[in-house]
Amino acid sequence: MSSQRPLAWLGRGKEKRALDLFKKHMNKITETTESMEDALHTFCDGKENVDRKTNSVLAKEREADEIKAEIIDELSKGNFPPLGREEIIRLVMTADDIADNARGAAAKITFLDSSELSESLRDDLKTLSSLALEVVQLLESTYLTLLEDPKVALKRTSEVEKMEEEIDHFRASELMPAVIEWSDQSGKSGTSIILKEVADNMEEVADRSEDVADEIRSIAIRTL
């Protein structure tokens, strides 16, 4: 094994190009999640332009996919240290799941009628979407910090993990009981299933953010 430090490859040409592309990829994932939150809030507020907002999420997710393809193409060129290639691929593919789930949540609300939902349920959906965005923004900040100060990045990965746990708790203790109560009162089992799937997608945004943070933590620890 080479004696070079684990992140020595971060500063080299091809590797730096791939990591700069991942920075763009992470930013586009954040934009996708922002659009998802906007679509959820628009839906819950009963506004008429939900389809336009949802289409924006789909467009952002496609742009993230295009950047992912660029990164994979870059990794296929020339000689990369195996460690560098594997870690970048894990970052890219795990982060890509964040955008996929943001898109999934936005797409599913188009099958729902917000006027059928209780005000408290709509408020809980808005809260979960905002929390999902917040954890993705924190994750992006954590990745940017990794490139500058791994010790600070290590601390921030714990913040991502803590926030994911808060989101999981909110979903389990607030949102899902509200969904169950509404379902029992309305008798609309089909709508209830879609609501659960929307909630699942938003929780997965947080779960996959924690997974990316775990990858960042692994890299940061080996540099200290």
Distance CA 193, CA 185 (A): 15
pTM for this entry? 0.91
* 8 Å CB contact between 104 and 63: no
Q: State residue 79's pLDDT score.
A: 67
Nearest to 24 by CA among 99, 100, 132: 99
Domain boundaries, the chain: 8-221
Q: How many CB atoms lie within 10 A of CB 94?
A: 17
Q: What is the pLDDT of residues 172-223, one digit of tens each?
A: 999 999 999 999 999 999 999 999 999 999 999 999 999 999 999 988 887 7
Q: State residue 6's pLDDT score.
A: 44
Q: State residue 21's pLDDT score.
A: 85
Question: What's the average model confidence in pLDDT over 29-39?
Answer: 98
Quote the mean pLDDT of the chain: 90
Nearest to 33 by CA among 204, 161, 157: 204
Q: Does domain 8-221 have CATH number 2.30.40.10?
A: no
Distance CA 96, CA 90 (A): 10
Question: What's the average model confidence in pLDDT over 69-97?
Answer: 82
Distance CA 6, CA 1 (A): 11
